[in-house]
Amino acid sequence: MTVKINVKGAIIINDYKEIYDFYEMESTSPNDILNALPANNEAVEVVINSGGGHLNAGSEIYSILKDYKGQVTTKIVALAGSAASVIAMAGDKVIIAPTAQIMIHNVSSIAQGDYNEMLHTAGVLKEMNRSIANAYILKTGKSEAEVLDLMNKETWLSARSALQHGFVDEIMGVSADNLSEFLVASTNVPNMLPLSVIEKYREVKNQQKQPPKPAQKKKRHGFIYL
């Protein structure tokens, strides 16, 4: 029997899962995948429809699936964008629907400070691009330069293009020879909650648990998105 696991909505870190559930927003965290994997190493089918999200969460999910001892099939049913495209590459077999898309691009973040800080952040992001590129390189057999070029351009791939470039192994129910190329024209982006909303949720929740405290300046933590 094959166990189905969904990767849908925003890809988020474990600490944010409660907040996304509170707002009834679809999301996937590394713990969601860990808890869904069968203990007896049965084959799993990971159904993907996500525009991406947090880089580290996507990388962790990729690693969890690659480390799983059973057969892993990833099935892209609509969109595997950004961090979700990395997760898709974890499949022993990668399948895409004829109408689905893959999108790969550079990682991004928010930085502040002087020019030294900006230059440092730029260097960090470049190295993160190289790290993420490994998932695509291992799947496609392309060189690092080829993959980084595709990421730098923010490349959208139709089902046929994804097959031709080696990002997928099969198009669902359709012979690649009979599938005509079509234009991908989507502006779908990850449905991510702003950090201010997450901080407000935590602030309200803490107020319900304890007496009010003097207002303190909050430190904003930047996340790397993909």
Q: Model confidence over 115-166: pLDDT tens digits?
A: 999 999 899 999 999 999 999 999 999 999 999 999 999 999 999 999 999 9
CB 44 within 8 A of CB 71: yes
CA distances from 207 to 16, 18, 19, 203, 217 (A): 18, 17, 16, 6, 16
pLDDT tens digits, one per residue of 175-223: 645 554 433 333 444 567 888 888 888 888 888 876 555 555 444 446 6
Q: Which bin fits 10, alpha (ψ -120 to 50), beta or left (φ > 0)?
A: beta
Helix-strand-coil split of the chain, %, nearest 5? 40, 20, 40
Q: How far apart are CA 215 and CA 212, in angstroms?
A: 9
Q: How far apart are CA 132 and CA 224, in angstroms?
A: 12
Q: Domains along the chain?
A: 3-209 (3.90.226.10)
Mean pLDDT, all residues of the chain: 88
Rg (CA), the chain: 19
pLDDT at 217: 47
Q: How far apart are CA 223 and CA 16, in angstroms?
A: 12
Q: Is 136 helix (H, G, I), strand (E, B) or coil?
A: helix
Q: Is 114 helix (H, G, I), strand (E, B) or coil?
A: coil
φ, ψ dihedrals at 7, nearest 5°: -120, 95
pLDDT at 210: 65
pTM of this prediction? 0.83
